[in-house]
């Protein structure tokens, strides 16, 4: 049974020859070579003898192959430990260390923790062999860790259509736009569509900064409050619009920290202040959102009454 992107049975020697060649096919895996295993996987020059039930329960691709395909005599090898014939499956285009990590994730007797070093290869294997539990584990890792490598998280979430991670990682990429876009090689792996959406969002932010110069304070406020509010906006403009521009999350927080409470004569006027500021910010910059999954960092806890940082974002959809 042969697929260009799926496992394939592979052995062309006679049963007698196979008994003699059994040890010559490749090195045994030091972790996943079980004497009672009933199927062998080969990747590069490494042989894994494992259990068909574990593979079938974990992978829809292997389960479908075991149910629909029967190995011929040429696809079988003779186990030197049990003397029984077992199938050997060649895994094309897969690195042996990646298969070892996949099996370590599947087998209960081994422990494997996903990291940035292997999440890309594991997502590829999970997609190729339809291992839903591994896909879920990789997505959970990205949700926990996307703040460490937001650009890498954005690339992986686009390839594997993980819309939640795509949106959250885009917030941090846009918040550090110059850092990520300074080197063209950083953009390798992103589609033209995603790059364009990032650039459009960034342009909207820069245009919003320019509009701050023309802000007018609503006359519904008392004269003293109006004058103070105008001066506060002027401070914001000076702070966030001086090149190089402040990051969007900082600008959003700076604008929301405008405090004119002592200049209002009654609570009703003060209640109108926040909607006024929100209206201007939304008009200038569009909708911003906080991070959906933030790791608590007690040492960096903001002072009381400090607004939660919000970020621009893009979403995973075909525009």
CATH class of 8-95: alpha beta
What was the pLDDT predicted at 262?
56
The rounded distance, in Å, linking the Cα atoms of 88 and 74 is: 10
Contact indicator for 290, 168 with CB cutoff of 8 Å: no
- 117 against 297, higher pLDDT: 117
Choice among 8-12, 123-127, 132-136, 287-291 with the minimum mean pLDDT: 8-12
- Using one digit for the tens of pLDDT, what is the confidence trace for 219-259? 556 666 667 667 777 777 788 887 788 899 998 888 777 66
Q: How far is CA 161 from CA 1, 20, 29, 186, 198, in A?
A: 30, 47, 33, 20, 17
Contact indicator for 44, 96 with CB cutoff of 8 Å: yes
Residue whose pair of structure tokens reads 């040890």 in the numeric block? 23
- 74 against 257, higher pLDDT: 257
The rounded distance, in Å, linking the Cα atoms of 39 and 304 is: 61
Domain boundaries, the chain: 8-95, 119-199, 204-300
Residue 31: enclosing H or E segment and its boundaries? Answer: strand 27-33
Choice among 57-61, 68-72, 80-84 with the minimum mean pLDDT: 80-84
Q: Enter the pTM of the model.
A: 0.81
Residues 6+ apart with CB under 8 A from 176: 150, 247
49: which strand partners?
A: 33, 40
pLDDT at 13 over 50: no
The whole-chain average pLDDT of the chain stands at 80
Task: Let me know if 220 is exposed, middle or buried by CB neighbors in 10 A (0-12, 13-18, 19+).
Answer: exposed
Q: What is the mean pLDDT of residues 3-26?
A: 44
Q: What is the mean pLDDT of residues 195-222?
A: 80
């Amino acid at each position: 049974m042969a697929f260009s992107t799926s496992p394939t049975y592979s052995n062309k020697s006679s049963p007698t020859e196979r008994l003699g060649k059994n040890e010559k096919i490749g090195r045994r895996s030091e972790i996943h070579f079980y004497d009672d295993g009933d199927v062998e996987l080969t990747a590069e020059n490494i042989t894994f003898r494992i259990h068909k039930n574990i593979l079938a329960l974990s992978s829809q691709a292997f389960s479908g192959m075991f149910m629909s395909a029967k190995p011929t005599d040429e696809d079988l090898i003779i186990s030197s430990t049990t003397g029984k014939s077992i199938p050997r499956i060649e895994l094309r285009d897969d690195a042996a260390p990646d298969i070892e990590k996949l099996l370590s994730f599947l087998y209960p007797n081994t422990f494997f923790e996903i990291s940035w070093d292997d999440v890309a290869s594991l997502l590829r294997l999970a997609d190729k062999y339809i291992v839903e539990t591994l896909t879920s584990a990789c997505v959970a890792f990205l949700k926990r860790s996307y703040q460490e490598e937001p650009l890498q998280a954005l690339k992986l979430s686009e390839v594997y259509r993980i819309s939640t991670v795509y949106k959250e990682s885009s917030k941090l990429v846009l918040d550090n736009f110059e850092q990520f876009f300074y080197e063209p090689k950083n953009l390798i792996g992103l589609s033209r569509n995603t790059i364009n959406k990032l650039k459009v969002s960034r342009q909207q932010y820069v245009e919003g900064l320019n509009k701050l110069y023309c802000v007018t304070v609503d006359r519904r406020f008392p004269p003293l409050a109006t004058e103070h509010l105008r001066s506060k906006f002027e401070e914001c403009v000076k702070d966030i619009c001086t090149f190089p521009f402040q990051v969007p999350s900082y600008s959003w927080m700076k604008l929301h920290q405008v405090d004119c409470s002592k200049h209002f004569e009654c609570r009703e006027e003060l209640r109108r202040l926040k909607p006024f500021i929100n209206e201007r910010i939304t008009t200038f910059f569009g909708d911003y959102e906080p991070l959906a999954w933030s790791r608590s960092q007690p040492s960096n806890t903001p002072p009381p009454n400090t607004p939660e940082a919000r970020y621009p974002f893009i979403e995973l959809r075909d525009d």
